């Protein structure tokens, strides 16, 4: 997967709710950064999750997507800080 739809939400009030039984909680336990993980030789990140029953899950993500998400997080932090300044 080389694409990811990113949806930005200003607060938990407007963010989606992830409730059972549709969603089950799992803890992120390990992140493996893998050099030359893609066919093009770019890094990937394997995220290992474990649920309450010990079942393991993995999400494999390109390094580019992780970098883009980091930019989104940084932008959201700045946006909410700016909103707080205006509200004060």
| pLDDT, tens digit (0-9, with 9 covering 90-100), for 26-85 | 999 999 999 999 999 999 999 999 999 999 999 999 999 999 999 999 999 999 999 889
Q: What is the DSSP letter of 4?
A: -
**Residue 21 predicted with pLDDT over 70:** yes
Q: Dig out the tokens for 58 from the structure.
A: 């993995």
**pLDDT at res. 87:** 87
**pLDDT at res. 10:** 93
Q: What b/e sequence results for 13-24 when a residue is b if at least 16 CB atoms lie within 10 Å of its CB, and e otherwise?
A: eeeeeeeeeeee
**pLDDT at res. 2:** 62
Residue in 59, 87, 67, 72 with CA at minimum distance from that of residue 7: 72
Which residues, 6+ apart, have CB-to-CB distance to 72 below 8 Å?
6, 8
Q: Pick the more confident residue, 2 or 48.
A: 48
Q: Dig out the tokens for 59 from the structure.
A: 């999400």
């Amino acid at each position: 997967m080389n694409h990811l739809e990113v949806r930005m939400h200003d607060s938990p009030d407007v963010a989606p709710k992830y409730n059972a039984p549709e969603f089950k909680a799992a803890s992120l336990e390990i992140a493996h950064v893998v050099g030359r993980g893609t066919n093009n030789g770019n890094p990937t990140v394997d995220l290992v999750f474990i649920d309450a029953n010990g079942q393991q899950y993995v999400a494999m993500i390109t390094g580019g997507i992780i970098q883009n998400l980091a930019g989104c997080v940084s932008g959201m932090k700045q946006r909410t800080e700016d909103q707080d300044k205006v509200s004060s």
